[in-house]
Structure 1
Amino acid sequence: MGTMVSVLLSLLLLLGPAVPQQTQAGSYRLSFLYTGVSRPTDSLPSFQATAHLNDQVFFHYDSKSRKAIPLDPWSQMEGIEDWEKESELQQARESIFMETLQDIMDYYKDREGSHTFQGRFGCELLNNKSSGAFWKYAYDGQNFIEFNREIPGWVPQDPAALNTKRKWEAEEVYVQRAKAYLEEECPAMLRRYLQYGKAFLDRQDPPSMSITRTPGEDTIKCWASDFYPQDIDLHWIQGGNTVEAEVRGDLLPSGNGTYLSWVSLTVSPWRTRNTVFCRIVHSSLDQPLTGLDKRQ
């Protein structure tokens, strides 16, 4: 029991979106997303873990490779982490995480169904001071259990989580160590990572603009691509006024640490009498970008 819970203490998870939310100026976040599934496939391993620094993927681990693999630019930074030891730690976490998933399935007497157990842990720094930390789990998309630092202790949110709470609070020292990890060790780890990667997280990549029109259609799209950070204002302007976009594309990662997005507009006959411009505002730009559909 002691060994299992000791390993579990480092499995600190904060439920949230795959891409963490935009951070404030001077704010940094370290978070880990864990996912375990009862019915893996060729494309979906039984367990995978992804670490983020702010909204940037730091490293990835899964049950097929059994290796913590850093992504660029972190893979180019010597000394940021001992990746062999990190792989061993992730292997231990995988074992505990999947055991918990099986415990939940046993509680509900459903060993044959398709089930998912997820969690995310994280901590934040604002102006180099700890400004928050989180640890939550979900089962099949529903809240399962979370750690409350004020109590301190685990708060069950599912009937099966009562058993999990008893296991994870078998000894008081484990609760105190979990609290210490969230409030002390995680922020210290984040500070260490920032010594290597703060310049990358603070960079400003300006967007490029392109305007497209599908042949035979009256819809035009304005694209903003290759920008960072992710906060951007992208809209159409006509006669000096902002035109409400009919469709606004999702903010999507480009695959190289930057983002892309778009807005579309139907160019009706009455609109063609007045020039329509696309306007992009981003923190990397001294002046907004403006563009005109040349086929107007």
Structure 2
Amino acid sequence: MALISFLVIFLQAGAVFSGSHSYRYFYTGNSEGGEGQPHFTATAYLDDFPIGIYTSATKTFQLRTKWIEEKADPALWKNYTNIFQGWEVEFRRGVKKMMEHFNQTEGFHSLQWMYGCELDDDGGIRAYDLDGYDGREFMALDFKKVIHISSRPETEVIAQKWNTETIEAEKMKNYLEVQCIETLKKYISYGKEHLDRKVAPKVKVFHQQSAGVIKLHCQAYGFYPQSIKVKWFRRGAQKVRSFEVPLILPNTDFTYQTRVTITVPPEEMDTYFCHVDHSSLEKTHIVVWDPSQNHLLYASLGASSILLLILTFVLGLKLGRRRQGNRTSTYSLTPVTDGDQPPPSPSV
């Protein structure tokens, strides 16, 4: 559940507003590795979709987006590999330091770092820099005061230490508000045709019955762009409120999915309609719930699984950097002319 909570924070922090685009990184360091679970992973996202990934298993940054690969400087990805190899070392140290901080000597533990930027169509920008441990956020960078704010009492001492290193916070603020935005603009230009497309949602309605109640689910999937409205109505006119907060999750094919659920007492069996509005649709798409049919749909659930896996990968780097008083390092970075690269490790 802890990892789920950090996933929700990630989705909320990175939620792309209508008419905006985002560029983000997620790092995870684990105390234990194994088959299918690397010690360290770093993933780059464009609008919620993974465009490249580095893991401690592959030791290389692997691009996953062809239209970026075709236009970007190949030397850039080699530099990514160098940077992430350095961060892999720092995250291994960071996980150990966090375990010591929480008096933990064994078990599976993970350290997470999420940072990124967003650009609105009107030129407005947003940035965020969050740290998590074992799935719970414990630190965030305040971009106005340029200080780290602890969200847990037991990590106040860490915030105090980080805030003595003001130059690091200033560097991160500058990176996210300037360099990250420049990179995002570049990638938007690379994929303008792809990012400006519209794909209509597919919609399915199904139900589940247990403990004396019926849950009606309306799932919209395979749509793009992200912004969508999904609502339930009774008898076609009375809106029915959902008490669950719906998440819009990315699929592996650069589309999205979401699901809105309502609870219906058996004695209130009636005619229910799901209304879906999306920029790809000329008019509201309406699907009627038929109690005699139940489409148990689990479309594109791999997307949310990938997000969980990546967050499990990504949690470790930053703390290793922040908690080290000595900023020497055993590796160096090769500069490239392209300004698009993640923040360097502590030695830079």
Residues 50/20 of structure 1: CA separation in 2 closer, same or farther (3 Å cut): farther
What are the Cα deviations for residues 214-244 of structure 1, in whole angstroms up to 9, with x where unaligned?
A: 8xxx876544221122332233444331352
Mapping of residues 255-274 of structure 1, within 5 Å: 255-262=252-259, 263=261, 271=269
- 1:94 equivalent to 2:91? Answer no
Partner of residue 284, structure 1 = 280
- Residue equivalent to 2:28: 35
- How much does 1:62 deviate? 1.4
CA contact (8 A) 1:57 1:71 kept: yes
1:156/1:253 Cα in 2 relative to 1: closer, same or farther (>3 Å)?
closer
Q: What code does the residue aligned with 1:291 have? A: V
Do the aligned partners of 1:220 and 1:264 also contact (CA within 8 Å) in 2?
yes
Match of 1:3 in 2: none
1:140 equivalent to 2:137? Answer no
Query: Cα 1:178–1:293, aligned 2, differ >3 Å: closer, same or farther?
Result: closer
With normalisation by structure 2, the TM-score equals: 0.65
Paired with 1:50 and 1:96, the residues of 2 have a C-alpha distance of 16
CA deviation profile, 1:11-44 (whole Å, cap 9, x unmatched)? xxxx932576432333222111111111223232
Match of residue 187 from structure 2:
193
Q: How does 1:236-255 map to 2 (within 5 A)?
A: 236-244=232-240, 251-255=248-252
Say whether residues 1:117 and 2:111 are aligned partners.
yes
**Separation in 2, partners of 1:89, 1:165:** 21
User: Cα distance, 1:108 vs. partner?
Assistant: 4.4
Per-residue Cα deviation, 1:36-81 (whole angstroms, up to 9, x for no partner): 1112232321111222112222222211112222224556533266
Structure of greater relative contact order (alpha carbons < 8 Å, 6+ residues apart): 2
Say which SS state the counterpart of residue 34 (structure 2) adopts. coil
Q: Does 1:24 find its partner at 2:21?
A: no
**Percent identical:** 26
Q: Quick one: structure 1 residues 162 and 239, their matched pair in 2 at CA, closer, same or farther if it must change by over 3 Å?
A: closer
Query: Alpha carbons of 1:292 and 1:193: their partners in 2 closer, same or farther (altered >3 Å)?
Result: same
Aligned to 1:131: 125
Change (3 A) 1:251 1:123: closer
Native 8 Å contact 1:137 1:146 kept in 2 = yes
**TM-score, reference length from structure 1:** 0.74
Tell me the residue number matched to 2:42.
49
**1:48 aligned partner, one-letter code:** T
Alignment check: 8 A CA contact 2:68 2:191 kept:
no
Alpha-carbon distance between aligned partners in 2 of 1:250 and 1:39, rounded to the nearest angstrom: 30
Amino acid at match of 2:162: K
Pairing of 1:167-178 with structure 2 (within 5 A): 169=165, 173-178=167-172
The DSSP-based 3-state class of the residue aligned with 1:17 is helix
Stretches of structure 2 that go unaligned for 5 or more consecutive residues are 1-7, 209-213, 294-348
Structure 2 CA distance, aligned partners of 1:174 and 1:289? 50
Measured after TM superposition, the shift of residue 252 of structure 1 is 4.0
Q: Secondary structure at the match of 2:175?
A: helix
| Residue matched to 1:10 | none
Rounded Cα–Cα distance in structure 1 between residues aligned with 2:180 and 2:268: 58
Please give the alpha-carbon distance, in whole angstroms, between the structure 1 residues aligned to 2:16 and 2:160.
36
Larger Rg: 1
Residue 107 of structure 1: how far off its partner (Å): 4.0
Q: When the two structures are aligned, how many residues end up with a matched partner?
A: 276
> 2 CA distance for matches of 1:186 and 1:141?
25
Q: Is 1:62 aligned to 2:59, yes or no?
A: no
> Which residue matches 2:327?
none
Structure 1 spans left out of the alignment, 5+ residues: 1-14
CA RMSD of aligned residues (A): 3.7
